[in-house]
Structure 1
Amino acid sequence: MSTPTESSTVRAVVRALDATQAVVEVESGGCGRCHEEGGCGGQNLTQMFCAGPKTYRVDNAIGASVGDRVTVAIAPGSVRRVANLAYGVPLTATIAGAALGAQYGDVGSMLGAVSALLLAVLYVRFCSRDGAGNYAARPHIISRS
């Protein structure tokens, strides 16, 4: 069982290269902790919706080549932070917008909720653009397997 200070790793195969990044196909989805204590079980849910190969763009600082089997890591806590950004910020903004707009009746509540949601989506997109955030927290290749 991994501790909160360890990074999560997954095995993958490099399928394409793009400048300093690689497109990798993950051999098994998720971090592999679905059935462990502290695992989110997300892989079980995604299996219903994703039947094809799972490919991701990751940083390739070690210079892996196409066809290489690699180990991809992500910093501890970054999945939680990204989930909070992607889900928590829009949800909180929508509720706050509805509450603030409620002083103007039902229509004000709806307009407040929609307006706050749109602002939250723009904020999430801004925070998710290339080059934003902590470089070390992004998925990256740590070794060839």
Structure 2
Amino acid sequence: MSERDSMTGGAWGSIAAVDGDDALVRMDEGGCGRCREPGGCGGNNVASLLCATPRTFRVPNPDGRAVGERVRVRVLAGSVSRSALYAYAFPLLALLVGALAGSALAGEAGAIGGAIAGLLVGWLGLRRAQRRHTGDCRFQPSIRS
């Protein structure tokens, strides 16, 4: 499967500024761009409730797109769901394991302390994963025409 086949449909935006090899892209809408298509999740509806101002993202600009140009921003298929799994499942699992371990060791107070410790471990794990994947192009948005 080629890289193009493994990309999501993407969302449209405009280049608001160019900063070296990166472009600041102001997105037209929230979500993946499939909100109005059959089978779309409707994330644009949620995004409009949570964020009324246009979203701007720093995206690599290898083709040297100019300010004002409309572009489609895409991410590799599966990267959003993988990131959401890490962001939600890992801390929740760490919280539950910490609470169960604390409860087994020291009852209710141990469960509370273990849950707090589990959340801290979950947060530290997410920070580590974020640092590790910062330069990984599989988790970076890209401009496609």
TM range (shorter): 0.7 to 0.9
Q: Is the 8 A contact 1:11 1:26 kept in 2?
A: yes
TM-score normalised over the length of structure 2: 0.84
Higher strand share: 1
- Residue pairs, 1:17-36, within 5 angstroms: 17-35=18-36, 36=38
TM-score normalised over the length of structure 1: 0.84
Change (3 A) 1:8 1:92: farther
Counterpart of 1:79 in structure 2 is: 80
Q: Could you report, residue by residue, the CA deviation over 1:52-91 in whole angstroms, capped at 9, with x for unpaired residues?
A: 1111122212221221111111110011011111111111
- CA shift, 1:136, in A, is 3.1
Equivalent AA in structure 2 for residue 27 of structure 1: D
**Structure 2 residue 98 is the aligned partner of structure 1 residue 106:** no
Q: Is the 8 A contact 1:15 1:24 kept in 2?
A: yes
Give the structure, 1 or 2, with the largest relative contact order (CA under 8 Å, sep 6 or more).
1
CA RMSD, aligned part only? Answer: 2.0
- How high is the sequence identity, in percent, across the aligned residues? 39
**Residues of 2 paired with 1:130 and 1:94: CA distance?**
22
Counterpart of 1:137 in structure 2 is: 139
Structure 1: runs of 5 or more not aligned: none
Q: For residue 99 of structure 2, give the secondary structure of its aligned residue in structure 1.
A: helix
Equivalent AA in structure 1 for residue 20 of structure 2: A
Structure 2: runs of 5 or more not aligned: none
Give the ranges of 4+ consecutive aligned residues of structure 1 lying more than 4 Å apart after TM superposition.
none
**Structure 2 residue 118 is the aligned partner of structure 1 residue 120:** no
Aligned residues: 139
